[in-house]
Amino acid sequence: MTRTAIYLASAATALALSSVAARAADPELLVFDWAGFEQQALIESYVAKYGDLPTYSFFGDDDEAFQKVSSGFKADVAHPCSQMVSKYRDAGLIEPWDVSRIPEFANINARFLNSEIFKDDGGVWYIPTDYAYTAVAYNTKEVPAEDVASLQVFKDPKYAGRISLPDNTDDVWSLALLATGVTDWSNVTDEQFAAAAAWLREVHPNVRVYWSDPSELSQIMASGEVLVAWSWNDSIALMRQEGFDVGFQRQAKEGASTWFCGYVNFKDAPGSEDKAYDFINAWLDQGSAKGLLDNFGYAATNDAGMAKISAEELVAADVSPVDGTLLAQTPIDHAVRAKMLEEFELIKSGF
């Protein structure tokens, strides 16, 4: 079997495993998380203390996760990205963290908590843990670098049927808004929304598949089925670990997107509150920053942990600072996001 065949088989297996409802381990802590985050390298001190990982249940995107929890699913902690936290708060599903029990909280970069949605007089509702980018992934053997200098590559007839976009509302709209000249989505006008929707409709016929999991995207790019994609860092990390020639263009002339995610603490959680704090402390441990970078290509919000990683490693993983334009996926009005979600479903259906 060739290296390519081995990689594709392993990626297919990883994708199948990611769709499993849960990974059972420590029954006293249920973590509701993105598929693939059941990594010991992220929580070494938790495993050292208890001898096993927590039990994990997985989701594929933030909207799916919120819908499941708001419909009655019970977990102890969950890992939403920043723009979803207000929905959990408004629904009365979460409670503040006691940061006196989280020693490394002081080392979280202040920019990740600069919102009353995350921290207010009622307490700290959200512990940001990880951040990265959404940008253009491309097969460097078949796609010239000049072709991905602009986000309009997704409309290029040359790549018809050879591109992939995320099946994710926030990421796909960050792309469309950037491509149509919007760099701040906090106050999108009706005209800007219409222009971005029209752009996505133009791109839709070129889309081979809307990917829902980084291992899925890695598989279809490694096979050559897809040459250009709007991707997170972790798909890039997966392919580079296997020696595939993939580039990550974070400085297209229109820009790229950045986002961050973290953990919320559920009210009336079924498991151990002490273990929930041990879990978040393990995640924020300074040594976990390297595990996050090595396994996902993501950066940690803990500045002290990031300071232990060399600048060369950050550049190689494409998480070093970007000089160009960035659209930050910060919290937006619920009604606007609901409109984005509804419109994206229509676009995918061909309407």
Helix/strand/coil for 266: strand
| 35 plus 68 within the same structural domain | yes
Q: State how many domains the chain has.
A: 2
Task: Kindly state whether residue 1 falls inside one of the protein's structural domains.
Answer: no
Residue 153 contacts residue 247 (beta carbons within 8 Å) = no
Nearest-CA neighbor of 178 among 134, 122, 118, 227? 134
* pLDDT tens column, 55-81: 999 998 999 999 999 999 999 999 999
CATH number of the domain to which 268 belongs: 3.40.190.10
Q: At what angle do helices 334-348 and 169-179 cross, to 10 degrees?
A: 90
88, 217: one domain: no
């090595």: which residue's tokens? 294
Q: Is residue 3 part of a domain?
A: no
Show pLDDT as tens, one digit a residue, over the chain (351 residues): 333 333 333 443 343 333 345 666 899 999 999 988 999 999 999 999 999 999 999 998 999 999 999 999 999 999 999 999 999 999 999 999 999 999 999 999 999 999 999 999 999 999 999 999 999 999 999 999 999 999 999 999 999 999 999 999 999 999 999 999 999 999 999 999 999 999 999 999 999 999 998 999 999 999 999 999 999 999 999 999 889 999 999 999 999 999 999 999 999 999 999 999 999 999 999 999 999 999 999 999 999 999 999 999 999 999 999 989 999 999 999 899 999 999 999 999 999
Of the candidates 316, 273, 297, 329, the residue with the CA atom closest to the CA atom of residue 128: 329
Cα separation, 232 vs 249, in Å, equals 11
Beta bridge partners of 302: 108
The answer to whether the CB of 154 falls within 8 A of the CB of 206 is yes
With respect to residue 56, please indicate whether it lies within any of the assigned structural domains. Answer: yes
Q: Is residue 4 part of a domain?
A: no
268 with 262: CB under 8 angstroms?
no
6 domain-assigned:
no
Which pTM was predicted? 0.90
64 and 163: one domain?
Answer: no
pLDDT tens per residue across span 303-327 = 999 999 999 999 999 999 998 999 9
Range of the domain at 92: 19-131+260-316
Retrieve residue 218's tokens: 């890695």
User: Taking the chain, what is the end-to-end CA distance rounded to the nearest angstrom?
Assistant: 43
230 close to 165: Cβ distance less than 8 angstroms = yes
**Do residues 310 and 327 both lie within one domain?**
no
In angstroms, what is the C-alpha Rg of the chain?
A: 20
Among residues 242, 297, 272, 289, which one has the least CA distance to residue 28?
Answer: 272
Backbone angles phi, psi at 348, to 5 degrees: -65, -30
Tokens standing for residue 199? 């752009």
Query: Does residue 47 contact residue 39 with C-beta atoms inside 8 Å?
Result: no
